[in-house]
Structure 1
Amino acid sequence: MLQDIFAAIPLGFFLAFLLGPVFFVLLETAAIKGFRAAISFDIGVLLADIVFLSIAYFSTSKLLQSIKDDPALFIFGGAVLATYGTITYVKEKKAIPHPDDAEVRKLKKSDVLGLMVKGFLLNFVNIGVLGFWLGLIIVFGPQLDMDADRLLVFFSSVLITYFVIDIFKILLAKKLNHKLTPKRIYVFKKAISVLIIVFGVILISRGLFPNELDKLENKVEEIMPENS
């Protein structure tokens, strides 16, 4: 069991620093709204990961393979991300901050559930996350003899490590709120919105031009060894 835990920790580190819309929104939430808000958001993200892991474990690999490669799902998920990013960008563009505005405020109890839902949905619409967890099940499942108890320990350790690292990220990002003027907050939010739109466009491209992107990835893999 200890061996499975130690094997899971590096994977949790990798997951915590995997760049994506969730990564940037988590930092934004921590810097602007504080620790409790970021933790609430992160719990929603973890719940989405648990749902994906459950789907990957209880479904057949053949069924999941067809789902994760379905172009329509990439297009749908990308469109949701791009729409969310665009709406957020336009909203921030209209809401020009005043120097006296207090962006950093205490979190209301009613906001906690909303932040969890936001984290869950932002992670859940990214169909690439399903592919990621499916890949881990396929790679590590046989090594763990597909034993339910060992799989539970292994992936629980991955998620716990991921969550602990996120806490440190949140604490570091929270320190930024003392340096965030209303103008910097405004620019920061717009930048995050643009990044979410970019991730959405990438997902849509993955659905519309899967073969072209696969060829591009293969070319990059061929070039990398030559340069190393």
Structure 2
Amino acid sequence: MFEAIILGLGAGLISSFITGPVFFAMIKTAIERGFKAGFSLAIGVFISDIILISIVLFGSQFFVYRENLDKYIGIIGGLFLLGVGIYYISSRISLNYQENSLVKISKRGYIIKGFLMCILTPSTFMFWVVVSGIISVKLNNLMYEKIICFIIALFTQLSIDAVKTFYAGKLRYRIHESHLKLLNKLAGVIIIAFAVWLISKTYLQFYL
């Protein structure tokens, strides 16, 4: 159970930064429109993730679990996360801070926008597929622990998104593009560190 909690916290932390365009759209929305708009977008992402996780979690029950695949899941998942981390560090950020006062969108509109942005991003689904594979290995494919892990991951992500949008809205006149670039690189370093840990742990467990 303890490992399920730790894995859930880790997955939630990484997923709150790994959504790419959604991550910066959330902060940008909070800067331009305030906390409520930014958090509404985060709610849309949350709903989308529930659907994606349900597909991954319960869809995996139709496949036979085989222990000899464990070593490949850790390596492939680690390489995927490593690629995402490198992309975050090397990618450029260009944001337009000018608010268009003529466009009025309801909270429902932001929820729908966040939902569509997340569910239509292939990397988001791939991330949850990788997470599902990793926790299946680490938790011995126990369904109740996997469900607990995903619940913790979802609410950890939502909590972090709430903090991000709150401070982005509060500090909207102090946040500059350079700050987001630094945050982007920090997210990349965190993801790479997790990827290296996952690859090294899998290698030591199965190949040595």
Which band: TM-score by shorter chain? 0.5 to 0.7
Q: Does 1:115 find its partner at 2:110? A: yes
Residue type at the aligned position of 2:11: L
Counterparts of 1:14 and 1:128 in 2: how far apart (Å)? 13
Task: After TM superposition, give the deviation of residue 59 of structure 1 in Å.
Answer: 1.8
Uncovered stretches (5+) of structure 2, i.e. residues with no partner: 64-94, 178-208
Counterparts of 2:125 and 2:100 in 1: how far apart (Å)? 38
1:1-228 equivalence runs, <5 A: 1-18=1-18, 20-60=20-60, 103=101, 111-178=106-173
Task: After TM superposition, give the deviation of residue 145 of structure 1 in Å.
Answer: 2.9
- 3-state SS of the aligned residue for 1:59? helix
Q: Which position in structure 2 is the counterpart of 1:207? A: none
TM-score (norm 1): 0.55
Task: After TM superposition, give the deviation of residue 148 of structure 1 in Å.
Answer: 2.5
Cα distance per residue 1:53-97 (max 9 Å; x no partner): 1111222477xxxxxxxxxxxxxxxxxxxxxxxxxx9xx8xxxx7
Counterparts of 1:102 and 1:24 in 2: how far apart (Å)? 18
Counterparts of 1:46 and 1:133 in 2: how far apart (Å)? 13
Residue type at the aligned position of 2:128: W
- 3-state SS of the aligned residue for 1:145? coil
Task: After TM superposition, give the deviation of residue 172 of structure 1 in Å.
Answer: 1.8
Report the structure number with the largest CA radius of gyration: 1
Task: After TM superposition, give the deviation of residue 117 of structure 1 in Å.
Answer: 0.6
Uncovered stretches (5+) of structure 1, i.e. residues with no partner: 63-88, 189-228
Residue type at the aligned position of 2:49: D
Task: After TM superposition, give the deviation of residue 146 of structure 1 in Å.
Answer: 2.6
Q: Which moved more, 1:170-179 or 1:50-59?
A: 170-179
CA change 1:139–1:31 in 2 (3 A) is same
Contact 2:7 2:135 in 1 (8 A): no
TM-score (norm 2): 0.60
Residue type at the aligned position of 2:109: G
RMSD of aligned alpha carbons: 3.0
Task: After TM superposition, give the deviation of residue 102 of structure 1 in Å.
Answer: 8.3
Cα distance per residue 1:144-172 (max 9 Å; x no partner): 23323211110111111111111111122
- Which ranges of 4 or more aligned residues in structure 1 deviate by more than 6 Å? none
Residue type at the aligned position of 1:166: D
Task: Tell me the matched-pair count.
Answer: 144
